[in-house]
Structure 1
């Protein structure tokens, strides 16, 4: 009996000693990442399956060289013509998020190693509890400025093991800011062009504390909507009467067809930008350039500065710059036709109805 107890104690000792290194190894195989909600999340070092429930994160993951590892996406990501052309595997990914809510049970069936969500999901206690209950490792991504957007790219890069590519993108981003800043520095504040930036709909715009307002400032122009607060509803809609009072010299739209609606609507006719025909469709690549969740913010800065101040940017060839961007960051060579389509903002996003039928 004593001998049997002695053997049992020895065996247990071996198991305990053996178990300690295994636990240490398990802990060493995670990285702690702080997400946009300030959560400290232990993320596996080895990430093989990625879910992107916020379109921006899908664009970033693709840029960082991991598009083929995406197993689940928000439905909107599949509307991006260029992204699907570059990475056909995106079309086959599950779509647990459609028009807002995430079907977390369906998301879990994709067996992702990491899930990227927007704060509309991660900041919702009920949705966050479901993610946790399904045992999913998730990071919330959010930003309202150029600096925060770069931090988001850095965070995603760390999480999926592509930090070097994230650094390269941020370096390019900052070089664009610097390039434009130097070129417009000599323009007095009173001579800078005023613009109205329509996002999605003609009467929907970018409020003061937002990414578009930040990059618009970097482009050397003045966002009329950033001058006042309290004139928007919760969806950032604004009355046409207020836009008339602002009387912007230039109007930028990021949704195809919005420019035509503005130019044909007699209510807009008295606005300087409409009178002078300075209503411009912004380019659309993998996203609508300059949109609150657009990866192509650096290009939006260059394009806007070139469009508004052509004299200061005679040496900036946006066709060449566009081609170089997608080659450098997505390793994809655009045809001349595709570059033209991107810069014209035409045919680069499937309509919601068309996506439903596919």
Structure 2
């Protein structure tokens, strides 16, 4: 009897398995369930292009340091890497969790993006932010890059007086709208402050300034250049009578031209940035220029990013405050130590001391 019962139970189990198998086959339950596709959204970038992107962005990249600095200030945890190599001195002002990100290159200065390494970090979008106004070339470059990498490319207008719109667009895409507004408000307030403080300075009273670039100080930017925009906005009289160059700029000039312009103030890069600040102070070739005779040669602070230019990103807003109070201390009074600490905390996520701020300003103020 026991054997018969066991046989019957075995038979019933086998029969149940067969029935279940037939049932699953008939209902299609054996088919694999496909994972739902990630949600997407279509946005319109600043070039008027319709771009479809994921609703949630985990990582992003940028074609140049201009966009890189904006993303770093806005959502550093979503950076895929750096588009410029950081020096040890620059790293001092950036939290170590970010300095360890890879260098992936960029399109600035005829550079290239490391496509193989970029593919490894899998950015969801790429921001294309250039120094000049958006034109057909900007659009064409973005379209080609998008096709080449199969990653959505978003063109962003970097106009210094429309930064609120740029931050709003990037903040919405990166899910950082509150931070974007905070940063944009700082930038807009800075521009408005400087405009209000300098608007009544007549042309004949504006300080004559020469922007000395390169290791010999014999390269510069024309008025209206994106690389000298801070000087124009601070109401400095840019003495350089040169042809404006787009892109990377840097018009070459002669010592004779600089002598003829005879600027009252010279701003230049420091030696550690490949500049001529020390050379200008000591060379016999420069000694007869008013700025040199009167000791008005100012080194542009450069860490972690140049305050005046190169790259011409949001770092320039601190530079605008610095230059305006340097040129017109009676019209625009600013506690630069306090401003540096505030800016570095807000934009660079770095809390620095008074001594750190003073060190950054060491050769930049009287």
Bin for the TM-score computed over the shorter chain: 0.7 to 0.9
Instruction: State the match for 1:67 in structure 2.
Output: 76
Question: 5+ unaligned residues in a row in structure 1: which ranges?
Answer: 1-10, 12-18, 347-358
Select which of 262, 286, 290 maps to 1:247: 262
Contact 1:231 1:238 in 2 (8 A): no
Q: 1:313 to 1:270 in 2, by over 3 A?
A: same
Task: Supply the distance in 2 between the matched residues of 1:133 and 1:177 (Cα, whole angstroms).
Answer: 38
1:109 aligned to 2:120? yes
Q: 1:167 to 1:31 in 2, by over 3 A?
A: farther
Task: Supply the distance in 2 between the matched residues of 1:165 and 1:139 (Cα, whole angstroms).
Answer: 20
Contact 1:250 1:278 in 2 (8 A): yes
Aligned with 2:351: secondary structure?
A: coil
Contact 1:104 1:130 in 2 (8 A): no
Select which of 313, 317, 329 maps to 1:298: 317
Contact 1:322 1:339 in 2 (8 A): yes
**For 1:188-337, what aligned pairs fall within 5 Å after superposition?**
188-201=202-215, 202-225=217-240, 228-229=242-243, 235-256=250-271, 257-292=275-310, 293-314=312-333, 316-337=334-355
1:32 aligned to 2:43? yes
1:135 aligned to 2:150? yes
Task: Supply the distance in 2 between the matched residues of 1:242 and 1:130 (Cα, whole angstroms).
Answer: 41
Cα RMSD after superposing both structures: 3.5
Contact 1:68 1:87 in 2 (8 A): no
Q: How many Å apart are 1:82 and its aligned residue?
A: 4.8
Aligned with 1:174: secondary structure?
A: helix
Q: Which structure: larger Rg?
A: 2
Contact 1:199 1:255 in 2 (8 A): no
Q: 1:176 to 1:148 in 2, by over 3 A?
A: closer
Aligned with 2:252: secondary structure?
A: coil
Name the TM-score, length of structure 1 as normaliser: 0.76
Contact 2:129 2:155 in 1 (8 A): yes
Task: Supply the distance in 2 between the matched residues of 1:80 and 1:291 (Cα, whole angstroms).
Answer: 20
Q: Which has the higher helix share?
A: 1
Number of aligned pairs? 320
Instruction: State the match for 2:51 in structure 1.
Output: 41
Q: How many Å apart are 1:231 and its aligned residue?
A: 9.3
Q: How many Å apart are 1:200 and its aligned residue?
A: 4.4
Name the TM-score, length of structure 2 as normaliser: 0.75
Per-residue deviation, residues 274-316 of structure 1 (Å, max 9, x unmatched): 22221100223431001042322221111112112222334x2
